[in-house]
Amino acid sequence: RRLDSRSGLAAGLLGECQTPISTEPMESVYEVTGELGRGKFAVVKRFVEKATGKVFAAKFLRKRRRGRDCRAEVIHEMAVLETARNNARVVNLHAAYETDHDIVLLLEYAAGGEIFDHCVSEELLPETQITRLIRQTLEGVHHLHQRNLVHLDLKPQNILLTSLSPPGDIKIVDFGLARRLGAVGELREILGTPEYVAPEILNYEPITTATDLWSVGVITYMLVTGESPFVGDDKQETYLNVSQVNVDYSREAFSRVSELAVDFIRKLLVKTPEDRPSAAECMSHPWLWQLCLSPEPATTRTVRERSCGTKWAAPPEDPEDKEN
Ligand code: ADP
Ligand code: MG
Calculate the CA dihedral of residues 262, 267, 269, 275 and round it to 10 degrees. Answer: 170
pLDDT at 185: 65
Distance CA 219, CA 17 (A): 30
Residue nearest atom 3 of ligand 1, based on CA coordinates: 39
pLDDT tens digits, one per residue of 96-113: 999 999 999 999 999 999
pLDDT at 253: 84
Choose among 87, 296, 85: nearest CA to 95.
85
pLDDT band, very low/low/confident/very high, at 290 (cuts 50, 70, 90)? confident
pLDDT band, very low/low/confident/very high, at 300 (cuts 50, 70, 90)? very low
pLDDT tens digits, one per residue of 33-88: 999 999 888 999 999 999 999 999 999 999 998 899 999 999 999 999 999 998 99
Query: Do β-strands 170-172 and 149-150 pair in parallel, antiparallel, or remain unpaired?
Result: unpaired
**Ligand 1 pocket, residues with Cβ under 6 angstroms:** 36-37, 39, 42, 44, 57, 59, 91, 107-110, 114, 157-158, 160, 173-174, 176
CA of 160 to the centre of ligand 1 (A): 8
Residues 238, 269, 121, CA angle at the centre, nearest 5°? 65
pLDDT at 220: 98
Average pLDDT, the chain: 88
The answer to whether the annotation marks 322 as part of a ligand binding site is no
Point out the catalytic residue in the list 100, 102, 117, 153: 153
Does residue 153 have an active-site annotation?
Answer: yes
Residue nearest atom 4 of ligand 1, based on CA coordinates: 39
| Bridge partner residues of 49 (DSSP) | 30
- Extended beta strands in the chain, E state: 21-22, 30-38, 42-49, 55-62, 64-65, 68-69, 93-98, 102-108, 113-114, 149-150, 159-161, 170-172, 179-180
Residue 232 has pLDDT above 60, yes or no: yes
Pocket test for ligand 1, best of 33, 35, 36, 109 (most atoms within 8 A of CB): 36
| Bridge partner residues of 222 (DSSP) | none
Choose among 269, 259, 311: nearest CA to 289.
311
Element (H, E) at 261: helix 259-268
- Kindly identify the ligand whose nearest atom is closest to the C-alpha of 196: 2
Q: What is the pTM of this model?
A: 0.88
Residue nearest atom 11 of ligand 1, based on CA coordinates: 37
Residue nearest atom 14 of ligand 1, based on CA coordinates: 157
Identity of the amino acid at 137? T
Distance CA 242, CA 231 (A): 9
- Kindly identify the ligand whose nearest atom is closest to the C-alpha of 114: 1
